[in-house]
Amino acid sequence: MLREVTATRYVAPLRSGGSVPGVVEADDLGTYVVKFTGSAQGRKALVAEVVVGELARALGLRFPELVLVHFDPDLAAHEPHQEVRDLLNASPGVNLGMDYLPGARDFTPEAARSFPVDPLEAGRIVWLDALTVNVDRTVHSSNLMIWPTSGTAPAHLWLIDHGAALVFHHRWDTSAPAKAYDFRHHALGHYAPDVRAADAELAPRVTRELLRDVLAEVPDAWLTEEPGFATPDEARGAYVDYLAARVAASREWLPTDFPSREELAAEEAARAARTERGRPDWLKRVPDLHGRPAAEQDWSAHLE
């Protein structure tokens, strides 16, 4: 089962994501990025985080340790922003923490140009995303980190943020486990991901027994509100059934058609040109303030 820790200090909110997670220190002397039960995404996002994260770890992919964090909103009484305080006040009790990777940097398009990724590793990550219907690992938002970035140890890719996966559980549409998804803009698509080799390696390992073990990590409290299920275990069984059926149909949804860097650049340029043509002249003179900030946040000063 996931380890349980108790938060001892609320450090700062992270505004890079819609769920506004927070950096928290705990009684095991660890530092965690915590996603809260009171966020707009709700508990289903936390269920997806546990299921995909623990499945990734079981398959040998790099994913930070997850822990259950007991959180008292009084720890963040100093938080100056009302919307963040409202989120924290709505999240007493057990929340989900991910081990903080100090100094890690985002796998951005700029970083990707100089960072080598083995085609089989890329294939494994794409395969996991396709299996779990993760729609949020794109060239624009990779949800991949490069770590470590200093010292003598080699840097590796680490997977993070799977709250947008398992889209079927938002309406419990389990009618099409072989349904294909568009992965043309996957963050690793231009690394020639060897998804066929990944399928041959990983599909036999995703057994019903493994899926049951992974679902057992999800707290009962996060499954009690699932419509159509009398008990948390019944809900767990539905996840197991769907993912097992999807694994069995992997040859039907296996993504293989990935564009090159040049094709992606051409698509982006065409999209930008269409957008620009549709903007009025006065708006063309206004800078785009909605892009992702280039600067990366370093919370080390807050952790001293």
Sequence ranges of the domains in the chain: 3-100
Provide the token pair at 235.
């809900």
Strand partners, 183: none
pLDDT tens series, the chain, 304 aa: 899 999 999 999 997 767 899 999 999 999 999 999 999 989 999 999 999 999 999 999 999 999 999 999 999 999 999 999 999 999 999 999 999 999 999 999 888 888 999 999 999 999 999 999 999 999 889 999 999 988 888 999 999 999 999 999 998 988 899 998 888 889 999 899 999 999 999 999 999 999 999 999 999 999 987 788 999 999 999 999 999 999 999 999 998 888 777 777 787 788 778 877 776 665 555 554 444 443 444 555 445 5
> What are the backbone angles phi and psi of residue 98, rounded to the nearest 5°?
-120, 135
The pTM assigned to this predicted structure is 0.87
- Report the sign of the C-alpha dihedral through residues 244, 249, 253, 256, in that order: positive
SS3 call for 113: coil
What gap in Å lies between CA 40 and CA 43, rounded to an integer? 9
| Residue 165, burial from CB neighbour count under 10 angstroms (0-12, 13-18, 19+) | buried
| Residue 275, burial from CB neighbour count under 10 angstroms (0-12, 13-18, 19+) | exposed
What gap in Å lies between CA 290 and CA 281, rounded to an integer? 19
Looking up tokens 């027994």 gives: 209
Count of C-beta atoms within a 10 Å radius of residue 256: 11
Looking up tokens 């609320």 gives: 10
